[in-house]
Amino acid sequence: MRTSMHQGPEIWLRGPVSAPGAAAGAPPGVSWVGTHGGAGVTTLAEVYGGQDCGRDWPGPADPARVALVARTHAAGLAAAGRALDAFRHGQAPPGLGLDSVVLVADAPGRLPRPLVRHVRLLEAAVAVHRVPWVSAWRLGDLGGPPPRGTEALARLTGADR
């Protein structure tokens, strides 16, 4: 059946991207994938749960839902954009679904305007979660409560259940 309604390419659609035939038997939760070294994947996995994939794509035994992780400095945001493009252009392994991009603050305080503009570009394409600067994490203290405003990350990993 043919319709007169035209859809743009998938890359213009905002929100989670699921590959056709996404792994139905994949474990629940999320796989954290760093878009660059030092993105904060290990810390997020320790604090919120989920699978720490480092900079590798999740394997068959890992959750198929992916959260791309980057720092909020210029190089981190550029790396997040490249990883998002890989998903949007079908270059991620089959069966994976992009849930969101998680941006971990690279320093305390507000982002400079050029970086805010880059974050807004990412937000126009996919759900973006922001994790503020946590001084205790820098010292290796991951035992405290997660920072305010990051409740969605606990829901993402299923830790709130």
What backbone torsions phi and psi does residue 92 show, to the nearest 5 degrees? -80, 155
Give the span between the Cα atoms of 28 and 71, in whole angstroms: 25
Q: What confidence score (pLDDT) does residue 26 get? A: 52
Give the span between the Cα atoms of 64 and 59, in whole angstroms: 8
pTM score, two decimals?
0.82
Going by the DSSP 8-state scheme, the letter that residue 57 receives in this structure is P
SS (H, E, C) 81-110: HHHHHHHHCCCCCCCCEEEEEEEECCCCCC
Q: What confidence score (pLDDT) does residue 158 get? A: 76
Provide the pLDDT confidence category of residue 5 given band limits of 50, 70 and 90.
very low
